[in-house]
Amino acid sequence: MQKDVLLELKSDKILNNLKEGKRADGRKLDEYRKIKIEKDLFHNAEGSAKVFLGNTEVIAGVKFIPGAPYPDSPAEGTISVGTELIPLASPYFESGPPSMDSIELARVVDRGIRESKAVDFKKLCVKEGEVVLIGFVDIYAINYDGNLFDACSIAAISALNQAKIPKIEDGKVVKEEFSGKLKLERKPLLSTFAKIGNALVLDPDLAEETAMQARFSVATTEDNFVSAFQKGISGSLKKDDIDNAIDIAFKAAKEIRKMI
């Protein structure tokens, strides 16, 4: 993705400020920007949420579609996360097929949810071996100011958490009727860090993302497990960075979980 030249010029300042432990907006290194979650916004979506992370804004919607199960798990439905980095969210997003950034983002958000077994896929089974429900979580970037990973993760979990499961008859969705609500077994949340110089900062904004050498995301659950890691971009991390990130992530995600 193309970067903002003015932000690149700011990178040195961000780096120098962090040497004294200071961030441009006055946050602590392990502090999120202001988070706001709005739920159940759209009539046609089975579940939806809008998340503000500072100036970053994303919208997630859930649709359940009946489909055939995978041959190796005939009694289980599944979920699929997609992200759309549309040009309305940033002058640097382009229309066209999903970019590498968008694919990585979707897969990391998906991994955190899927691998923590947040959704009991057995509950999405309609008829074993024939019909199961596939939950599509589609997330649209509305305004991009850094850290889409965490914004998308919060939006996906919020939307899934209050999603209604449509009623299915003869393998087809009965419109406007629901068989119940999807209950999440866990609420895994991603926490993303930027390594800038020797500092590790939580929830980087766009200027900090422009200055970072490495990115690291960790998904944590309420029962003290980590369910996904993803190191991104070309810099490197040491084991201490990761230990540090895990500890901060557990604390930070706990606070966000209360809001969902």
Partner 1 sequence: MKKEEKKEYVNKKGLRLDGRKVDETRPIKITAGVLKNAKGSCYLEWGINKVLVSVQGPREVLPKHMANPLKAIVKFTYRMAAFSVPDRKNPRPGRRDIEISKVCGEALEKAILLEKYPNTQIEVWAQVLDSNAGSRVAVLTAASVALADAGIPMKDLVTAVAVGRADGKIIVDLNKEEEDAPDAVDMPIAMMTNSQEIVLLQMDGLFSKKEWEEAYEMSLKALEDVKKHQINALKQQFKEPIETKTTEKKEDNQVFSKSLSKNSPSDETKKEKHSSEKKVVKTEEKEIKSEVQ
Query: Rule CB under 8 A: which residues touch partner 1?
Result: 75, 98, 100, 103-104, 106-107, 111, 114-117, 216, 221, 224-239, 242-243, 246-247
Minimum distance from residue 14 beta carbon to partner 1 (Å): 19
What is the three-class DSSP state of 195?
strand
Nearer to partner 1, 142 or 242 (CB): 242
Minimum distance, C-beta of residue 122 to partner 1, in the bound complex (Å): 10
Q: Which is nearer to partner 1, 191 or 230 (CB)?
A: 230
Looking at the Cβ atoms of 40 and 104, the one nearer to partner 1 is: 104
Which CB sits closer to partner 1, 31 or 115?
A: 115
Q: How far is the CB of 187 from partner 1 (least distance, A)?
A: 14
Closest approach of partner 1 to the CB of residue 141, in Å? 17
Residues 57/33, Cβ–Cβ less than 8 Å: no
List own/partner pairs for 163-168 with CB under 8 A and 24 or more apart: 163/46, 163/47, 163/62, 163/64, 163/135, 164/46, 164/47, 165/46, 165/64, 165/124, 165/133, 166/46, 166/64, 166/133, 168/66, 168/126, 168/131, 168/133
d(CA 210, CA 37): 26
Distance CA 255, CA 245 (A): 16
Closest CB to partner 1 among residues 177, 243: 243
Nearest to 204 by CA among 68, 44, 30: 30
CB of 97 to partner 1, least distance (A): 10
